[in-house]
Structure 1
Amino acid sequence: MSTGLNGGQTVTIPLPAKDEVYGEYDIMVFGGGSAGCTAAIQAARAGKRTALVEKNGILGGTTIVASVNFPGLFHAWGRQVIRGIGWEIIERTAELGGAELPDFSVVPPRHWKHQILVNRFLYSAVLDQLCLESGVSLRLHEMPAAVRKGEDGLYVALVGKSGLKWFKTRKLVDATGDADVTGMMGYARQKGEVLQPGTLINDIGGYDPAAVDQSELNRLYEEAFRNGEVDRSRNGLYNDLRAGRINMHVQHIDGSESESRTAAEVKARRNLLDTVRLLRRVPGCEKLEVRYVANECGIRETWRIDGEAEVDEQSYVSGYVWPDAVCYSFYPIDLHHHSGYHIEQKYLQPGIVATLPYRALIPKGSDDLLVAGRCVSGDRMANSAFRVQASCMATGQAAGMAAAIASELNCSVRDVPVEVLREQLERSGAIVPEIPISSME
């Protein structure tokens, strides 16, 4: 036995014998969401034998299983700032009738108007197609259990329906959203003392909002709160009824481990049920029903890696161009307060677009592991902005290309030539920030 990073006991799994290795890849990507899919597609298109490992039976990550259906933002101030594989996914989904693209030449009064609602089935089917067309080996219903370094490469234990299987690989991409593989390999991570709330997306119906007395609704809710029937006081339920969705921000949850994630899911569903029971006592809502609820609670924040570089709030909102910038990110600071419905937002000034550096994708001291998605290296405020899906897609493509280059050159991910990485990303359709000469000196 050995002590894990969080103080718990973890089982030390020895390296497998040669006859215990089930298969071999050049690159293994963990997490089939926005970052993981783009990373795997890019690595495979670069000619590398690539596996994509996903715990669910469907690709798409929180867009699909948590219904956080807000792919964006790909455009800023009337121009496109993120393209490449992520945008290809959106375009193909739109061609199938699964998304309606707004007029991006018009700068909207609110940033979220340029988010793109997708048909979840068509979106996930497009991800299947693009992965398979690129040569990605899909490994659904599997999770990593251990990573061990041998003299001739890395060995990864996956756990699935048939038990534990070992695979050999050269490079890894952690796109789990929670830096799971990063922690498994012993690299440093950081997590805030308090975390942003999660959200359980739902749709409700079976009532007429016009028939509901708002003051009576508020009175019954406050009475239920005093009686302990609901977990907090709030007065925005009438707006929820008008929107057809109960605002389910679930405070005091931690989605970073299976046990705490289980507690979060159970708490979210219980809160929704308690609210529905209450609403059915409100005149006009007697037949209210939940017509849809997401499979999972959407988690905004858990671990962030301690990277070779950290994106802080000031560098993000100022539009600082990092000397090793590999992509743009465009979204306001969007920190949801852990104890209520307050959101701390800081908008980017007109013309400003943030950039993300390659070094923020590298855990400190890592030779074989890259990270993509919401858990790349940044402080809490910057993380609350670049955790959105388009930015995750951009970092995923960068990580997939960097892993392919490192595998090809047989070098550490820290030694990947940034100029080569940026050039290859541009050739693959990505938009790469132009680095000022002063930053290169």
Structure 2
Amino acid sequence: MERILETDVLVVGGGPAGIHAALAAGRNGCRTILIEKYGFLGGMTTAALVYPWMTFHTTDGKQVIKGYAQEIVERLMAIGASPGHVRDTVGFVRTITPFDPERYKVLAMELLKEAGVRLLLHSFVDAVRVEGDRIAGVEVTGKSGRLLVKAEQCVDATGDADLAFLSGAPCLQGRESDGKTQPMTMKFRMRGVDLAAVKRYMLDHPDEFYPKTPFAELERLPLSGVMGFTKHWRESELPINRDQVLFFTGPEEDEVLVNTTRVQGLDGTDVEHLTEAELEGRKQALLVADFMRRRLPGFEKASLTHTGAQIGIRETRRIDGLYALQVDDVVQGRRFEDVIARSGYPIDIHDPSGKGVTAAWVKGDGAYDIPYRCLLPQAVSNLIAAGRCISTSHEALATTRLSPSCMATGQAAGTACAVAHRSGKPLAGIDVAELQSVLAEQGVVLRDEETITVF
């Protein structure tokens, strides 16, 4: 006989979106359960080594993502696990936020326990029971057998819209023209890197690096990220469809996180495709690490120390919601009456089949709104999405998928569940003004604030 658990809010997925959704629901008085397939939290940021967090700010230094996300950054800073927001020396965005993933795993669990959230790790959702337009129960497989979780409200923070898909809510995948998705990347860490030598080479050969690199300030800035070594990459003739090397520094002084492999043409929701991607990604990681050690200044004594527990996934399914955020909404910095989060991260599309990256920056004050309707799927009334699987176009997903944006939509989703629980209304029928008021009390930025100068 299956074991039955009952709760007010069920969050599926323990990445940044799920952590913040569960934290918000728990802190707002809801009995909350979070289900996660791994034995740790953090999602792509820990399992796939997606590092650093980028970005909490606009290009001119205005912080537009705060709330629980900023609280976590400050808690990490207090224990020496993050330097906080620092200048991005790649130059793609204004700031990035390095962090120690091992301490983040522990802190996230501690925060959720403080909020009264019940954690079910090593648990996998494989079926959903639907009655009418509601999820009546979520079936879970784990080490202790089968579980059925009954919840008043459910949050899909899986990144892949698994809960929405299993419940029959309409979903989309990939770009509208052909369904192709952004490539996957196997990230890896290297130790023994002489970052001073890397910086010297950058200053002596600026033409080999990303044009937005802040060379005028580079002498005094700590090196936080590097994109380039284009001459070396061209000469390598590696069988990887990229045009340059990208890596970020830390958390240790001689350590970098390399984001350079590229696995294209595979479906991150297909188990056989994922299996192939894992093998291809790890083979590419070995090739890139060997190339960097042999050819790049500063890497002569470096070695590969760690690959992700899984390959990093940028794009799979997303809900087809009440509104889909569009590329023009982002680029034009559009405002919405039902705003529940803001972001300043640009459009950042890793080509599904080519070598390059398509980028477009936000105009106006440098930030755009994410409306509440993007979190609400069609057809299922007690389900809300958070993180990478909210309702957007393929192009707009290229900004909302980033971790700080996922944190912000996660906090909004969990808070919406609490507002619905208190009011007895469906998620689509709650008073959005009340939701916005609660989010503002929690430190979420929904309106323009003063510019904060960062480095």
Task: State the identity as a percent.
Answer: 34
CA distance in 2, matches of 1:239, 1:114: 15
Code of the aligned partner of 1:265: E
Q: Which residue number corresponds to residue 274 of structure 2?
A: 261
The answer to whether the 8 A contact 2:234-2:243 is kept is: no
The answer to whether the 8 A contact 2:242-2:356 is kept is: no
Matched, 1:154 2:170: no
Matched, 1:42 2:24: yes
Matched, 1:83 2:66: yes
Q: Which residue number corresponds to residue 438 of structure 1?
A: none
Paired residues in the alignment total 404
1:74-121 per-residue CA deviation (whole Å, 9 max, x = no partner) reads 2223332111111111110111111112468xx999353411000111
Code of the aligned partner of 1:90: V
Please tell me the root mean square deviation across aligned C-alpha atoms, in Å. Answer: 3.3
CA distance in 2, matches of 1:103, 1:355: 24
1:132-177 per-residue CA deviation (whole Å, 9 max, x = no partner) reads 0000001111011222135997211111112211122111000000
The answer to whether the 8 A contact 2:3-2:146 is kept is: no
CA distance in 2, matches of 1:40, 1:217: 45
CA distance in 1, matches of 2:405, 2:7: 27
Code of the aligned partner of 1:300: R
1:196-255 per-residue CA deviation (whole Å, 9 max, x = no partner) reads 111111134679999xxx999779844xxxxxxx64477757999x97847212222221
SS class of match (1:25): strand
Considering Cα pairs closer than 8 Å and 6+ residues apart, tell me whether 1 or 2 has the greater RCO: 2
CA distance in 1, matches of 2:384, 2:313: 22
Q: Which residue number corresponds to residue 187 of structure 2?
A: 201
The answer to whether the 8 A contact 1:307-1:364 is kept is: yes
The answer to whether the 8 A contact 1:325-1:356 is kept is: yes
Distance apart, 1:410 and its partner CA: 2.6
Code of the aligned partner of 2:395: M
Matched, 1:51 2:64: no
Distance 1:275 1:109, change over 3 A: closer
Distance apart, 1:411 and its partner CA: 2.3
The answer to whether the 8 A contact 1:52-1:137 is kept is: yes
Matched, 1:292 2:306: yes
Distance 1:244 1:177, change over 3 A: closer
CA distance in 1, matches of 2:81, 2:345: 24
SS class of match (2:362): coil
Q: Which residue number corresponds to residue 248 of structure 1?
A: 261
Q: Which residue number corresponds to residue 437 of structure 1?
A: none
> Residues 14-413 of structure 1: matches in 2 within 5 Å?
20-76=2-58, 77-102=60-85, 110-150=91-131, 154-192=136-174, 193-204=179-190, 221-222=236-237, 231-232=239-240, 236=244, 245=258, 247-275=260-288, 289-349=303-363, 351-413=365-427
User: Runs of 4 or more off by more than 6 Å in structure 1?
Assistant: 206-210, 214-220, 237-240, 277-288
Code of the aligned partner of 1:345: A
Distance 1:424 1:275, change over 3 A: closer
CA distance in 1, matches of 2:121, 2:82: 25
Code of the aligned partner of 1:298: G
Q: Which residue number corresponds to residue 3 of structure 1?
A: none
CA distance in 1, matches of 2:236, 2:327: 38
The answer to whether the 8 A contact 1:308-1:360 is kept is: yes
Distance 1:425 1:219, change over 3 A: closer
CA distance in 2, matches of 1:84, 1:342: 34
SS class of match (1:75): coil
The answer to whether the 8 A contact 1:326-1:433 is kept is: no
Code of the aligned partner of 1:201: K
Distance 1:194 1:131, change over 3 A: same
CA distance in 2, matches of 1:278, 1:86: 36
Question: Which residue of 408, 411, 432 maps to 2:446?
Answer: 432
The answer to whether the 8 A contact 1:205-1:244 is kept is: no
Distance 1:354 1:231, change over 3 A: same
CA distance in 2, matches of 1:234, 1:20: 49
Distance 1:281 1:376, change over 3 A: closer
Distance 1:332 1:338, change over 3 A: same
Distance 1:73 1:235, change over 3 A: closer
1:334-357 per-residue CA deviation (whole Å, 9 max, x = no partner) reads 001122430000112352310001
Distance apart, 1:299 and its partner CA: 0.7
Distance apart, 1:21 and its partner CA: 4.2
Code of the aligned partner of 1:259: E
Distance 1:217 1:43, change over 3 A: closer
Code of the aligned partner of 2:100: N
Distance 1:45 1:102, change over 3 A: closer
Distance apart, 1:277 and its partner CA: 6.7
CA distance in 2, matches of 1:293, 1:324: 40
CA distance in 2, matches of 1:187, 1:154: 14
Code of the aligned partner of 1:100: P
- More moved, 29-38 vs 269-278: 269-278
Distance apart, 1:187 and its partner CA: 0.7
Distance 1:157 1:351, change over 3 A: same
Q: Which residue number corresponds to residue 5 of structure 1?
A: none
| Gaps in structure 2 of 5+ consecutive residues | 199-228, 249-254, 449-455
CA distance in 2, matches of 1:239, 1:154: 45
The answer to whether the 8 A contact 2:18-2:386 is kept is: yes
- More moved, 153-162 vs 385-394: 153-162
